[in-house]
Amino acid sequence: MSIIINKSPDVLSSEITPKSVYLDRRKFMQQSIAASLLLSADAMLPAWAKNTAKWQSLQKSPLSTSDTVNSLEDITSYNNFYEFGTGKEDPHKNATAFNPHPWSITVEGECSKTGVYDLEDFIKPDALEERIYRLRCVEGWSMVIPWVGFSLADMLKKFEPNSKAKYVEFTTLLDKSRMPGQQRRVLHWPYVEGLRIDEAMNELPIMALGLYGDVLPNQNGAPIRLVVPWKYGFKSIKSIVKIRFSETQPVTTWNRTAPAEYGFYSNVNPTVDHPRWSQKKERVIGQPFWKPKRETQMFNGYSDQVAHLYRGMDLRENF
Ligand code: MTE
């Protein structure tokens, strides 16, 4: 697993980044600013995180589900974010002091535009939209979340991945002082996830910056996280600080921790049981206990958009 060097929030990226990488980044910024979907002078507004009034009138994505959305309370008080504790209510309680600003993302590996990018470089308000997706957790529950985000594929293309970029790896911040759950060795830290490049370039995955028309609450992965709606929730990594294009399949946290239970692909698949429980049904968070469980759908309902990605693969073997 790669090692990341944490950056103090007070240190300028120009001070800690190798000069060549930093200059490269400046060049990229200058060249692409006019044409870029994600980069714009507007995006450099320092108060973006507080200026979300315009997020209320976001474009509604046609890729959204029409299922009933969960309440903000459900979405922000029943979480998995082991960096803030292993209990469902821990992230809500333990992440309040976490300050996700300033934030930068390092881009590495098989692409032309490697470098360290400030979060503002990723944000162009016009590219943001609301996408409502059901998050199906591997533990057998689900909820429906109105995310605010933008296309992962559009973002990745800006970095110009080369022909060796067969996979994309994502890494969460490693900082025991700011993420107290990392003081316990419950997982291999930092949390790492990955996608095959064609999965990442599909139209469905988004990078989310918010939900319910506002910035992401800390417990949901502030300031930026992945959302991959046809895979179990653990693929949707939170608080991302690194993106790496690689030729080989990334070593992901859950696959490394329990390879017999959590595969690299982790597609929602009701016909492949978890070794310790069935995946045929799911408990819908927020529904009264007496309501029947929901039948889990293949690829979480997105077969039309993603089944072709796995043609010829045995999804029992590649679970
Ligand atoms: N990302 C990090 N860094 N750490 C985590 O513990 N948990 C995953 C995923 N992303 C996790 C993570 C799991 S198991 C799930 S189900 C979803 O986040 C939950 O997202 P939510 O809390 O926003 O609903």
Tens-digit pLDDT profile for residues 206-264: 999 999 999 999 999 999 999 999 999 999 999 999 999 999 999 999 999 999 999 99
Residue 308 CB contacts under 8 Å (≥ 6 apart), including other chains: none
Atom of ligand 1 minimally distant from the CA of 190: 3
Cβ of 172 less than 6 Å from ligand 1: yes
Report the phi/psi class of residue 101: left, alpha or beta, with left for phi > 0 and alpha for psi in -120 to 50: beta
How close is the Cα of 233 to the center of ligand 1, in Å?
Answer: 6
Pairing of strands 225-227, 214-215: unpaired
Domains of the chain, each with CATH number or no CATH = 13-310 (3.90.420.10)
d(CA 291, ligand 1 centre) in Å = 25
pLDDT digits (tens, 9 = 90+) for 187-214: 999 999 999 999 999 999 999 999 999 9
Entry pTM: 0.86
Distance set, CA 57 to CA 196, 204, 308 (Å)? 33, 21, 34
Task: State residue 297's pLDDT score.
Answer: 98
Sign of CA dihedral 46, 50, 56, 58: positive
Q: What's 153's DSSP letter?
A: H
DSSP letter assigned to residue 239:
S
Average pLDDT, the chain: 87
Distance 91 CA to ligand 1 centre (A): 10
pLDDT of residue 49: 66
Distance from the alpha carbon of residue 61 to the mean position of ligand 1, in angstroms: 23
Task: From first to last of the 319 residues of the chain, give the pLDDT tens digit.
Answer: 333 333 333 333 333 444 344 345 444 444 443 344 344 433 443 456 666 777 878 999 999 999 999 999 999 999 999 999 999 999 999 999 999 999 999 999 999 999 999 998 877 777 899 999 999 999 999 999 999 999 999 999 999 999 999 999 999 999 999 999 999 999 999 999 999 999 999 999 999 999 999 999 999 999 999 999 999 999 999 999 999 999 999 999 999 999 999 999 999 999 999 999 999 999 999 999 999 999 999 999 999 999 999 999 999 999 9
* E strand intervals along the chain: 59-60, 104-109, 115-118, 129-136, 141-151, 167-172, 192-196, 206-211, 214-215, 225-227, 240-246, 281-284, 294-295
**Residue 81 CA: which ligand 1 atom is closest?**
6
